[in-house]
Amino acid sequence: MVGIEKIDGGPRSAIVVGAGIVGLSTAWFLQERGVDVTVVDRAGVAAGASWGNGGWIAPGLTLPLNSPAVLRNALRAGWDSAAPLHIPLIADAGLRAFLIQFAANCRRSSWKRAMRANVGLNEECLEAFDVLTANGVDAPMTDAPVTAVFRTAQEAERTMTQLHELEKARQTIYVTALSGEALREQVPLASQAVTAGLNINAQRFVDPRRFVEALGRSVVVRGATIRRLEIRDVLTSGSGVTVYPRNGKALTADAAVIATGARLSQLTDRWLRVPVQAGHGYSFTVPVDRPIPTPIYLPDARVACTPYKGAIRVSGTMEFRHPHERVIPERVEAIVASASPLLDGARWAERGDVWVGAYPVTPDGRALIGEVSPGVYVAGGHSMWGLAHGPITGRLLAEQITTGKQPQALREFDPLRRSGH
């Protein structure tokens, strides 16, 4: 930890750079502790991964990306653009450096360490959402199991093995096996190819855009200003921090939080030794003949389906590439090709609201949360679990900022660590 314990009650003002779930949650919980907050974002509230992700709040499924199996499957698939994890044939120097570190961390010890670290966030993530919705964040949440479906019992057993690893990391999980009529009742869209299912119970889902926009409104009602500004630099200066927009006057405050998702490295490279890479995911909406009551997970295809306005929101794939490269239509077709044999009654040809966005991925599977310079903090690198872990990250980081004491749950997310350490 960079700073020293605060003796005057902490900062009175803060600038949060980033208006996604992580940044806005941090702003909200800073306000709860009496801090005057300004939020700035280049594109506005919920413009990044907070908008188009699957909307799962699923602590029972927070398996880190850097598992040995993910690396094996990626290498086996080569550079197949239809693979669930796609690695481009040509990579720039930054991406090559990230991939080398990612491969080095795709070992059981690093993967299990990331799982244990996430459990510290999982324990309180649902409660953090409850605090927000009980105090002015007007957006519904639905309690529901996530139902994983499989062609064979052997496939279900492989997923159970992974879930047992989470249990060994002390994550509480309640799983119910499904088959026959119980499976068809739970998953009305299940095709005849589906023979087994697992209910991962006590999870939740939300409409992510609706939730993050409601969170933004609550932050404003509580006294914050949200400004559309692109920030070029954040520096410790004198007794506080200075935030420099690309255009206009500099902003000053006692503290600043950088929570810019997949763009985190652009403002933090001078401090961070763990790179943050954009991992692009896709989602789209599909009309269905029979609405589903709960989210559906297709583990082998790494595809998530969430109830959404009488249809389903389908999310999947992960590709490492430059954030400004074009959308690859074949990736959407690959999601459809992998999901359609398992789901009947989904009108794939009528899909709409196609979205591609960047998740912030670290090579060792752990987010970056904490102080990097006196008064300057970062919060990001949550990969696909930014929505689930956003509020608890904001709550714990606000505690650190205002007290100067690092919460126990944040110790494994030290932003100044080296990859894998």
Say what the pLDDT of residue 317 is. Answer: 80
pLDDT value at residue 48? 75
Q: Residue 244: which residues within 8 A CB-CB, separation 6 or more?
A: 231, 232, 233, 234, 235, 250
Angle between helices 108-133 and 21-32 (to 10 degrees): 60
Least confident of 74-88, 113-127, 390-404: 74-88
Dist. CA 400–CA 66, nearest whole Å: 28
CA contacts within 13 A on the Cβ side of 14 = 32
Candidate CATH numbers 3.50.50.60, 3.20.20.30, 2.60.40.2380, 3.90.550.10; the one for domain 13-413:
3.50.50.60
Express the helix, strand and coil content of the chain in percent, nearest 5 each: 35, 30, 35
Is the per-residue pLDDT at 204 higher than 60?
Answer: yes
Closest CA to 42 of 360, 356, 264, 260: 260
Helices of type H across 91-225:
93-105, 108-133, 153-168, 180-186, 208-221
Distance CA 316, CA 297 (A): 10
- Predicted confidence band at 6 (pLDDT cuts at 50, 70, 90)? very low
Q: Count the residues in the chain.
A: 421
Tell whether the model's pLDDT for residue 3 goes beyond 60: no
pLDDT for position 1? 40
Query: How far apart are alpha carbons 94 and 388 in whole angstroms?
Result: 28
Q: Please tell me the pTM assigned to this model.
A: 0.94
How do residues 64-92 score in pLDDT, each as one tens digit?
Answer: 999 988 777 766 655 566 666 666 656 67
Structure-token pair, residue 183: 């499976």
Dihedral sign (CA 54, 18, 47, 367): negative
Please write the tens of the pLDDT for every residue from 215-270. 999 999 999 999 999 999 999 988 899 999 999 999 999 999 999 999 999 999 99
Distance of CA 249 to the CA centre of its chain: 32
What is residue 413's predicted lDDT score, i.e. its pLDDT? 98
